[in-house]
Amino acid sequence: MKRRDFLKNVGLGAVTLSLSGCTTTPGLFAGRGRRPNIIFILADDLGYGDLGCYGQQEIATPNLDRMAEEGMRFTDHYAGSTVCAPSRCVLMTGLHSGHCLVRGNARVPLRPSDVTVAELLKKAGYATGIIGKWGLGEPGSTGIPNKKGFDYWFGYLNQRHAHNYYPEYLWRNEEKVRLKNVVKAVNPPGGVATKRVEYSHDLFAKETLAFVEKNRNKPFFLYLAYTIPHANNEARQKGMEVPDYGIYKDKDWPEPQKGHAAMITRMDGDIGKLFARLKKLGLDENTLVMFSSDNGPHREGGNSSDFNDSNGPLRGIKRDLYEGGIRVPTLARWPGKIKAGSVSDHISAFWDFLPTCTELAGVKAPDGIDGISMVPTLMGQAKKQKKHEFLYWEFHEQGKKQAVRMGDFKGVRLRVAKNPNGPIELYNLKTDIGEKHNVADQHPGIVEKIAKYMKTARTPSKDWPLPS
């Protein structure tokens, strides 16, 4: 089905896909032994400048820096959105925020018709697991992980519940696991612990190693969705919750900045333990590990994104559609397959993850998705890599916003709800990565083309409408 026919057929609803037709194909690694394991590690609110391999000077991330040295670092990779839920929906479905079901932070569960990467990989014979934060379906809904292709699930279903690093309970599949923490409810299901015993991230780290151990003899897909370094918003200025400040305890920094840095370094250490376990089990050379963040850095829980330059050279933070809100640090490591120390400026986004996985697993991706497989880039075959005509985002807070990246140019339209045909800011990212100089007046033809994409690159949504 051609793209234009697909869009015509979806009518007024959000895009839905069917598993029918997603047949098994020979795949990239047919006849070369077991298909690769796939691990996708997602940080929460980690900025483009928060890792040493992206220029961070104060926060220690030795394991992620080594991941970049042993694999590929992406300079132009984008999250699905500038906030949590839609970004994760994009990652799971291969549809950008103009086509996917969940386009904002609200309790709208995925439906049976919304096909996830986990469903496709499970069909291909993969053991599938998610550990961490989901945010795409409440208890008992059609959107819980076990109904969306995951064999095993442990963590938070609700985003606000996930703010608290010392919760009273977490979910294991469809059962509540009671923890030893005591919590005072604040903006339920949010809360602040009055007795802190079990730190959720530490539990995720243990669960991760157990999942890898259990599934070491078959291909597996693990979606490791950490909550670090998101703030516990309900704790206000004390929201950067971590058991200890570690190497930052004696720094002459504000307490929230010690917490922010300690959270990131703690996550980095646990990722190092994961790599060590893969090597110990003999899985290292048959496992693709990717690392990214769901959006840009935050100014919540007492944290200042400016203190340690969390967005690096980029303008904006979480909830912005400027680069700092959506361009995210992204790494890929696969010893023997991905060239060590390689750097890619391929323009890519979360919606490319699903077709990348299906190509590796030998399963046909659904028709009509927005993603393009990044396998050629990962394999060092840049000349064979298909490119996006454009990338599109829409954001449904702060008066609604839209953005389009088209080659080196980026267009941003603000306050769409009040003026859907309002002015578009235009930036040449090749010469102005910080988006300081609006060059719209110099390129009216490009602005006009971007304006057309902003109208045509989406399907109507009853939950997240945009005025015409």
Q: What whole-number distance in Å separates Cα of residue 271 and Cα of residue 66?
A: 11
Q: Find tokens 């080659």 and name the residue.
A: 407
Supply angle C-alpha 3, 328, 215, rounded to 5: 80
DSSP 8-state class, residue 441 = G
Summarised one tens digit per residue, pLDDT across range 151-164 is: 999 999 999 999 99
Provide CB contacts within 8 A for 165, sequence distance 6+. Answer: 193, 199, 200, 201, 227, 232, 241, 242
DSSP symbols for 43-68? ESS--TTSSGGGT-SSS--HHHHHHH
DSSP 8-state class, residue 327 = B
The reply to whether 145 falls in a domain is: yes
| In the predicted structure, residue 4 carries a pLDDT above the cut 90 | no
Quick check: 184 and 169 in contact, CB under 8 A? no
Quick check: 338 and 380 in contact, CB under 8 A? yes
- Enter the pTM of the model: 0.94
The reply to whether 366 falls in a domain is: yes
| In the predicted structure, residue 25 carries a pLDDT above the cut 50 | no
Summarised one tens digit per residue, pLDDT across range 64-109 is: 999 999 999 999 999 999 999 999 999 999 999 999 999 999 999 9
CATH number of the domain that 406 lies in?
Answer: 3.30.1120.10
The answer to whether residues 310 and 404 belong to one domain is: no
CA-based nearest residue to 118, from 134, 107, 106: 134
Q: Is the torsion defined by CA of 381, 222, 134, 261 positive or negative?
A: negative
Percent of the chain exceeding pLDDT 90 equals 93
Overall number of domains in the chain: 2
| Orientation angle between helical segments 62-70 and 255-280, nearest 10 degrees | 50
pLDDT reported for residue 28: 57
Q: Can you list the positions of beta strands (E) in 418-462?
A: 425-428
pLDDT reported for residue 33: 62
The reply to whether 100 falls in a domain is: yes
The reply to whether 465 falls in a domain is: no
Quick check: 152 and 118 in contact, CB under 8 A? no
The answer to whether residues 362 and 436 belong to one domain is: no
Q: What whole-number distance in Å separates Cα of residue 345 and Cα of residue 406?
A: 14
The answer to whether residues 237 and 352 belong to one domain is: yes
DSSP 8-state class, residue 22 = -
Containing domain of residue 310, as a range? 3-24+35-390
How deeply is 373 buried, as exposed, middle or buried, from its count of CB atoms within 10 A (0-12, 13-18, 19+)? Answer: buried
The answer to whether residues 417 and 335 belong to one domain is: no
Q: Confidence class of residue 249 from pLDDT cuts 50, 70 and 90?
A: very high
The answer to whether residues 64 and 209 belong to one domain is: yes
| In the predicted structure, residue 6 carries a pLDDT above the cut 50 | no
- Mean per-residue pLDDT over the chain, rounded: 94
- Residue where a domain terminates, one of 372, 390, 408: 390
Q: What whole-number distance in Å separates Cα of residue 439 and Cα of residue 377?
A: 31
- Residue where a domain terminates, one of 390, 417, 445: 390
CATH number of the domain that 368 lies in?
Answer: 3.40.720.10
Summarised one tens digit per residue, pLDDT across range 332-352 is: 999 999 999 999 999 999 999
Q: What whole-number distance in Å separates Cα of residue 80 and Cα of residue 391?
A: 10
| In the predicted structure, residue 140 carries a pLDDT above the cut 50 | yes
The answer to whether residues 244 and 382 belong to one domain is: yes
The reply to whether 232 falls in a domain is: yes
- Residue where a domain terminates, one of 349, 373, 390: 390
pLDDT reported for residue 352: 98
The answer to whether residues 116 and 209 belong to one domain is: yes
Summarised one tens digit per residue, pLDDT across range 263-309 is: 999 999 999 999 999 999 999 999 999 999 999 999 999 999 999 99
Residue 22, both tokens: 């997603």
The answer to whether residues 295 and 423 belong to one domain is: no
First to last CA, the chain: 27
What is the phi/psi pair of residue 90, to 5°? -60, -45
Quick check: 239 and 233 in contact, CB under 8 A? yes
| In the predicted structure, residue 16 carries a pLDDT above the cut 50 | no
Q: What whole-number distance in Å separates Cα of residue 403 and Cα of residue 377?
A: 25
Residue 150: CA atoms inside 13 Å, Cβ hemisphere, count? 24
Q: What whole-number distance in Å separates Cα of residue 383 and Cα of residue 370?
A: 21
The reply to whether 466 falls in a domain is: no
Q: What whole-number distance in Å separates Cα of residue 56 and Cα of residue 292?
A: 16
The reply to whether 462 falls in a domain is: no
The answer to whether residues 385 and 412 belong to one domain is: no
Q: What whole-number distance in Å separates Cα of residue 405 and Cα of residue 390?
A: 6
The answer to whether residues 216 and 253 belong to one domain is: yes
The answer to whether residues 424 and 346 belong to one domain is: no
The answer to whether residues 167 and 235 belong to one domain is: yes
DSSP symbols for 153-210? EEEESSTTGGG-SS-SEEEETTEEEE-S-EEEESSTT-EEEEE----HHHHHHHHHHH
Q: What whole-number distance in Å separates Cα of residue 126 and Cα of residue 116?
A: 13
The reply to whether 417 falls in a domain is: yes
The amino acid present at 414, given as its one-letter code, is L
